[in-house]
Amino acid sequence: MTLKLPGEPDFTRRRLLLQAVAASFASAAISYPACALAQGFAPARPVRLIIPQPPGGAADRLARLIADRLGARWKQPVVLDNKPGGGVVVGTLATVRSVPDGLTLALLGSSLSINAVQRKDLPYNTFKDLTPLVRVGYYTVALFAAASFPANDVKGLIALEKANPGKLSYGSNGIGTSAQLAGEMLNHMTGVEIQHVPYNGAAKMYTDMVGGQIPLGFSVASSAESFVKAGQLKILGVTSRQRSPLYPTWPAIAETLPGYEAVNWAGFVAPAGLPADLVTRISDDILAVLQAPDMAKAIAAMGIELAPQGPTEFETFIRDEVTRFSAVTKPLGSRMQ
């Protein structure tokens, strides 16, 4: 049986949605002067792209997709170097310690901001030791509830928790993840106390939600889609500032809580000290690759909302995110350890 939420398009129309995403991105794409292609980055040897996660995961698949296109553009291979460990610290530190010549880049994510807030033992300075280049976009993360959950939206959830303080809990894919931050930000902005239950990945969380062991969970939307289609889970809201073009009928939590945002982003960075001309040329090349309509479709198929930003915007975004996360995590003490 295919669940169709009120006002929601059938999931079989995903292909049409992906086409709409591509068209939407193309209409708002950054315009590049003709000289940008002629003055692009021209590496003399292969470029290393550090991924602080193991092979085979979502970040790895995204990196391979973009690396192939960059390699074709640069006439040099872009070789992935997976360096998992330490909550992405191992890969980030390897990036920091690399020569700032454009031949070592990294694809990092929201853990960069989270670590900057939570950890006092980082062997690098997030803002002094890295150069933001391009934000690619972010995975659509949503707050899901069991189908039998009494509330059908965030407003109803808040009212339910205030009527039954301390009785509700939400799951995430682990301590210190963007999913946990999404829940803690919801608590912080509403004054409720929904308890966090960390899981080692989302699969067991979904099973427990369907089985009635836990009522709520934050997770990447695409990974929970089969449970929604089966009528076992429902969506209360997405965590991005606006509705996702991949799921346009799903409300954004920010529609109820203005200013709410906790996204699981992905973006390119380089070591600090990268010359300004290389920052411009490399970021322009990455943005040009992302601009291709077929790339927008491919990224959307991974459940990622394409939301590119250049170096200045991307750095501002990271700084703003760290500021927002600091306001959430400081009162929590050991809960975020």
Is the confidence at residue 3, as pLDDT, over 60? no
The domain limits of the chain are 24-139+263-328, 141-239
Which tens digits make up the pLDDT trace of 230-278? Answer: 999 999 999 999 999 889 999 999 999 999 998 889 999 999 999 999 9
Contact indicator for 205, 211 with CB cutoff of 8 Å = no
Using pLDDT thresholds of 50, 70 and 90, give the confidence band for residue 25. very low
| 268 phi/psi in degrees, rounded to 5 | -95, 135
Is the confidence at residue 197, as pLDDT, over 90? yes
Burial of 38 (0-12, 13-18, 19+ CB in 10 A): exposed
Contact indicator for 310, 286 with CB cutoff of 8 Å = no
Cα of first residue to Cα of last residue in the chain, in angstroms, is 41
Supply the pTM of this predicted model: 0.78
Do 24-139+263-328 and 141-239 show the same overall fold? yes
Which tens digits make up the pLDDT trace of 159-196? Answer: 999 999 989 999 998 887 889 999 999 999 999 999 99
SS3 179: helix
CATH 3.40.190.10 correct for 141-239:
yes
- CATH T-level assignment (fold) for domain 24-139+263-328: D-Maltodextrin-Binding Protein; domain 2 (3.40.190)
